[in-house]
Amino acid sequence: MREDFAPRAVWFWQELVFRHRNILLVQRHGWTLAVVNQKGGVGKTTTAINLAAGLALEGELTLLVDADPQANATSGLGIDPRGQPENLFTLIQALLTTQDTLTGDRMTFSTARPNLHLIPASIDLVGADVLLASQIARETILQRLLAPLRDRYTWIVIDTPPSLGILTINALTAADGLIVPVQCEYYALEGLSHLLQTVDLVRRHLNPQLEIWKVVLTMHDSRTRLSEQVEHEVRKFFGAKVAQSVIPRNIRVSESPSFGQPVIEYAPLSRGAQAYSALVKEVKQHAASCVG
Ligand SMILES: Nc1ncnc2c1ncn2[C@@H]1O[C@H](COP(=O)(O)OP(=O)(O)OP(=O)(O)O)[C@@H](O)[C@H]1O
Ligand SMILES: [Mg+2]
């Protein structure tokens, strides 16, 4: 009996690991997502904040990285960008001067919310172009900065500025996947081909695994024909990459930044919050399908 026990125990353990390998892998792999669209005001920051906050609310340890000098993701969480001892710019400066990986503790900031941490931005980040211009491998600075954190967080969500400048290129290089908000407005698709070309270049030269995970329709107003038309065009162009969850134009969403809260925290029952919660689930499902 006893002699039988050891091989049986090994077999049982192997079976358990094999059967649950997807769950084990999902838990161990941290995903980095960048929210990008060089068009201004399309809902990048709103999407980044609510995605990060929604993932944190589901118990997933999440880091939001504010890579936009406007610092809207920082202030949108009720954090004063000017009052922080460290921010993305000071961390980039430190990385460039020490040429060393920075320790995780220096780089993360509590947001007074369970499971949600933040690397804030500040207006100094406008100097990133000049600071990085003379650096070798300047497109990979953010990737190197975040490297020690990738195993620590289940999710890293990067909010990017409305340009395809060096900060956005860094975000594309650091990311596994992209979330592309598209506002349901005139000229919604304008500029997207340029974005796709840039993604393609980054994929070929810097980050072969980069994928568009979800195109998200934002500020959708189902009463207008324009929103319906834009949705139709975007779904025709991007097909299955378009998230099922469409974010409605919703007053609670536009109010929430002035209260320093993501809408899913400020008004969890609002239509905007419900749509973002559904998007969080879709993003998690996508991650599971990447591993499975
Ligand atoms: N679903 C929505 N309903 C109503 N207002 C919204 C919605 N989504 C975003 N907004 C508002 O639209 C404005 C632009 O949104 P946001 O700041 O998220 O865009 P952005 O793409 O990050 O802008 P930028 O390019 O300047 O960084 C903000 O005032 C925001 O509160
Ligand atoms: Mg923004």
> DSSP per residue over the chain, as a string?
-HHHHHHHHHHHHHHHHHHTHHHHHHHH--EEEEE--SSTTSSHHHHHHHHHHHHHHTT--EEEEE--TT-HHHHTTT--GGG-S--HHHHHHHHHHH-SPPPHHHH-EEEEETTEEEE---GGGGGHHHHHHT-TTGGGHHHHHHGGGTTT-SEEEEE--SS-SHHHHHHHHH-SEEEEEEESSTTTTTTHHHHHHHHHHHHHHT-TT-EEEEEEEESB-TTSHHHHHHHHHHHHHHGGGB-S--PBP-HHHHHGGGGTS-HHHH-TTSHHHHHHHHHHHHHHHHHHHHH-
Whether 107 shows a pLDDT value over 50: the answer reads yes
Write out residues with Cβ below 6 Å of ligand 1.
40-46, 68, 70, 72, 162, 218-219, 247, 249-250, 253-254, 257, 272
pLDDT of 83 reads 87
Q: Which ligand has its closest atom nearest to the C-alpha of 49?
A: 1
Span from the CA of 151 to the centroid of ligand 1 (angstroms): 31
Q: Which residues surround ligand 2, an ion (CB under 5 A)?
A: 44-45, 72
Structural domain contains residue 128: yes
More confident residue, 97 or 270: 270
Q: Is residue 109 part of a domain?
A: yes
Mean pLDDT computed over every residue of the chain:
90
Which residue has the CA at smallest separation from atom 14 of ligand 1? 41
Tokens of 289: 């399908």
pTM of the model: 0.90
From the CA of 230, how far away is ligand 1's center (Å)? 17
Domain membership of residue 1 (yes or no) is no
Whether 5 maps to a domain, the answer reads no
3-12, 254-263, 270-279: least confidently modelled range: 3-12
Looking at the 3D structure of the chain, how many domains does it have?
Answer: 1
pLDDT at 12: 56
Give the CATH number of the domain where residue 53 resides: 3.40.50.300
212, part of any domain: yes
Minimum CA distance residue for ligand 1 atom 31: 254
Q: Which domain holds residue 53?
A: 30-291
Note the pLDDT tens digit of each residue in 64-100. Answer: 999 999 999 999 999 999 988 899 999 999 999 876 6
The yes-or-no verdict on residue 128 having pLDDT over 80 is yes
pLDDT tens-place string over residues 206-255: 999 999 999 999 999 999 999 999 999 999 999 999 999 999 999 999 99
Confidence band for 200, pLDDT divided at 50, 70 and 90: very high
